[in-house]
Structure 1
């Protein structure tokens, strides 16, 4: 392991110039969803290439049918150094409603907010320009002190993350050999709190289904046919209600195949975070946890699978009252997956379950809406362990390994298309107002984020 003390010291010395560089990038209006800012998106890509070249990367702008990618390479200190792919995005969300911003969203500043805290203000500070620059500046500090990097680094910055990444999968397919590495590093995530860094060790997968149950060939008068004709709303509602038993477990055949119990030491570490059912649900006006009985809210949202009805409709729903038996009833249902649950198997089990509830003289049709497996880095993974130790050495409190209830598509793409697991480390906070007016990024997140990546690179190289 290289001596990182002088590298950390150089990062501290560079902070002012690092902020100057970040602010240059933040002033570029790289809004990917609005065609009016196409030139600004290219300007953002070109700025990154120029800066990466200035610190020794072989960097280039790569055109796509949409906004360009940035790809950069740097050798490691030794031929057998680990190869890491670092991913971030330089595009940003639109700023509307502009009247709610306290300052020009593309004129970043440093603001003192009291209690010794300072924040960086402006669109893209947290999502994702500030985050990606923590890694770039860590590389800069390493180069200035050591003359090289401890790991072989490939960088991929895209310009369409905020608009659905339409060019990303084709780009990964076309450049798989160039981009494949030992591990991917993804920075578009958050800390647990201002003093506690976090590694997202798991992302839940997703299966979506739309269901349409059809009974009679037209809507029926409930006075003439009620009690005799099948009601598709009743049929669908009964089927959906049967997805869970009285303990909150999901009743589909084979649903829990591939679901493993979270290790006790990991659950114990989550318990120390102080997130109770009351504090978690109280934020949305609730207090009683749903889902599987006997599990904490963090386990339920990070490590357990779900079945949720996202919408249901049928019959007359307008003003007033109309006594009909609907001909059709529809619903949208989603499943969050964990472990090695198979999206295709879950979809088929759900369809079989619904079909078993539909009478012979009625019919049901299904419309799929996406399907992706869960992503999970083994809790005893050497990469995770090294990164956790490195983060714990930098921040006031030890790093925690958390789950994420949602999905980050790029992580699944890296796993499926490039065969790489991802280490998700970011320094955002829940109040950074990403996608909203007055986006901000803590100065501490930026400064200690740079130092954190220096420590992580050193640890992974060892």
Structure 2
């Protein structure tokens, strides 16, 4: 019997073990969901500790060297398990056990911490509870995959480190200090993160790129005080007018950002990837129609998926100045301000982009006006994973085998800070593969997770560990 046949036979047994244990896996999932691990509210500190301890104890029972690791705030769970062979790859799996607050409580169909399995008319089922998808259901898929391997074979095919955070939903204040002091303990060949979605209910996905960001505020100051527009209108500079003119100059008529050097280092998406995205049958009209729009407003000649996943942007997120209360006040304000953010792609330097914005503003200032800048986000660079990376290819193959369809290689328009932290502190690339859906209502009332996502998520991770070991 050759090695591949032996591996396939073992994997089949592991998957059969997982199927036989599925009801027990649901019960363990239910128990974790009942813990009210809301990280933002100090009243739930003990519940967060309870969730961390519960996970650490479970991992110990599976043969991991696991502990609750103290932090400035809520603790981490750190666990290690050797692989079946000395040369097995070492993977780090990340998830978070904390959840969002449940407000507004009155919009929930039932108690957010009393999980309930619901069945639709078509027979499909989902579990409703806070944290069902984000991130307790997602992290449990990996734990259950490890359990199936351990119970069937007595070991894991890869060397595995697990790292669970308890403050992801509250800005991760303890993460940076912990990684600075203890990061080497969890360093691996690469990281696996499950806090992402599938493309649709039948199509799994790997998120291969994340946009970065830098952001801040600009305030334009003119007169020494607010002025009566009847006495000073026409003679005094209006900073609101000036600010809107300057911000309007950020884009040209084709939607491109006009900052000098803004596109330096920005590369076009490879043609094969664009072709794959076209094959996803993404409906631009539906995407925009769902928010009451119909015409794409980004760079001309770019498909919407390209715009939101792999193109840089300059956005005005807020603007204020003058009198904005009820009624009317004929005032020329002394100052006006705006909040600005830039979504960045690989090849762009956050510091360079922000400096270019400052120069854009100051070069357009007339006499008697001053600009004051406040950097609110010093900038996270964009990240991407080489699509030819053998580990990523192994994950794609495993997902293809389980879901019997071609996985989507997606981009993400937002940022996932942990991915940047792993790259910056530990030099590790991250593969993002999760099984959530857009309609899971994460952060909202009646959050849910599909039972099919849970079941096939477990099977997917079992296959991924097998493929990575090969």
Residue 30 (structure 1) aligned with residue 40 (structure 2): no
Aligned residue for 1:5? 12
2:446 aligned residue (403, 417, 438): 438
Residue 246 (structure 1) aligned with residue 253 (structure 2): yes
Q: TM-score, normalised by structure 2?
A: 0.96
**Any idea what SS the aligned residue of 2:120 has?**
strand
Residue 368 (structure 1) aligned with residue 375 (structure 2): yes
Aligned equivalents of 1:29, 1:223: Cα separation in 2: 59
Aligned equivalents of 1:131, 1:78: Cα separation in 2: 27
Aligned residue for 1:172? 179
Aligned equivalents of 1:349, 1:456: Cα separation in 2: 43
Aligned residue for 1:163? 170
Aligned pairs for 1:293-308 (under 5 A) are 293-308=300-315
Aligned residue for 1:268? 275
Residue 401 (structure 1) aligned with residue 409 (structure 2): yes
Residue 109 (structure 1) aligned with residue 109 (structure 2): no
Residues 250-273 of structure 1 show CA distances to partners (whole Å, capped at 9, x for unaligned) of 000110112111111111111122
Q: CA deviation at 1:74?
A: 0.3
Aligned equivalents of 2:121, 2:243: Cα separation in 1: 55
**Any idea what SS the aligned residue of 1:208 has?**
strand
Residue 45 (structure 1) aligned with residue 52 (structure 2): yes
Q: CA deviation at 1:86?
A: 0.4
Aligned equivalents of 2:32, 2:13: Cα separation in 1: 27
Aligned equivalents of 2:236, 2:47: Cα separation in 1: 61
Q: CA deviation at 1:303?
A: 0.6
Residue 352 (structure 1) aligned with residue 359 (structure 2): yes
Aligned residue for 1:387? 395
Aligned equivalents of 2:216, 2:183: Cα separation in 1: 31
Residue 420 (structure 1) aligned with residue 428 (structure 2): yes
Return closer, same or farther for 1:220/1:103 CA change in 2, 3 Å cut-off: closer
Q: TM-score, normalised by structure 1?
A: 0.97
**Any idea what SS the aligned residue of 2:86 has?**
coil
Residues 23-50 of structure 1 show CA distances to partners (whole Å, capped at 9, x for unaligned) of 1111111111222221111111111111
> Does the 8 Å contact 1:33/1:163 carry over to 2?
yes
Q: CA deviation at 1:103?
A: 2.4
Aligned equivalents of 2:50, 2:329: Cα separation in 1: 58
Aligned residue for 1:124? 131
> Does the 8 Å contact 1:276/1:297 carry over to 2?
no
Aligned equivalents of 1:59, 1:288: Cα separation in 2: 52
**Any idea what SS the aligned residue of 1:114 has?**
coil
Aligned equivalents of 2:84, 2:61: Cα separation in 1: 19
Aligned residue for 2:469? 461
Residues 194-231 of structure 1 show CA distances to partners (whole Å, capped at 9, x for unaligned) of 10001111111111120011112122233333333222
2:78 aligned residue (57, 71, 81): 71
Aligned equivalents of 1:219, 1:37: Cα separation in 2: 47
Aligned residue for 2:327? 320
Aligned pairs for 1:138-149 (under 5 A) are 138-149=145-156
> Does the 8 Å contact 1:31/1:91 carry over to 2?
yes
**Any idea what SS the aligned residue of 1:125 has?**
coil
Residue 20 (structure 1) aligned with residue 24 (structure 2): no
**Any idea what SS the aligned residue of 2:40 has?**
coil
Aligned equivalents of 1:227, 1:98: Cα separation in 2: 52
Residues 101-155 of structure 1 show CA distances to partners (whole Å, capped at 9, x for unaligned) of 2222222232211213111121111111110010011111111122211111100
> Does the 8 Å contact 1:276/1:296 carry over to 2?
no
Deviates further, 205-214 or 29-38: 29-38
Q: CA deviation at 1:247?
A: 0.8
Aligned equivalents of 2:108, 2:230: Cα separation in 1: 57
**Number of residue pairs aligned between Structure 1 and Structure 2:** 462
Q: CA deviation at 1:396?
A: 4.0
2:68 aligned residue (39, 52, 61): 61
Q: CA deviation at 1:184?
A: 0.7
1:450 aligned residue (427, 437, 458): 458
Alpha-carbon RMSD across the aligned residues, in angstroms, is 1.3
Aligned equivalents of 1:277, 1:240: Cα separation in 2: 27
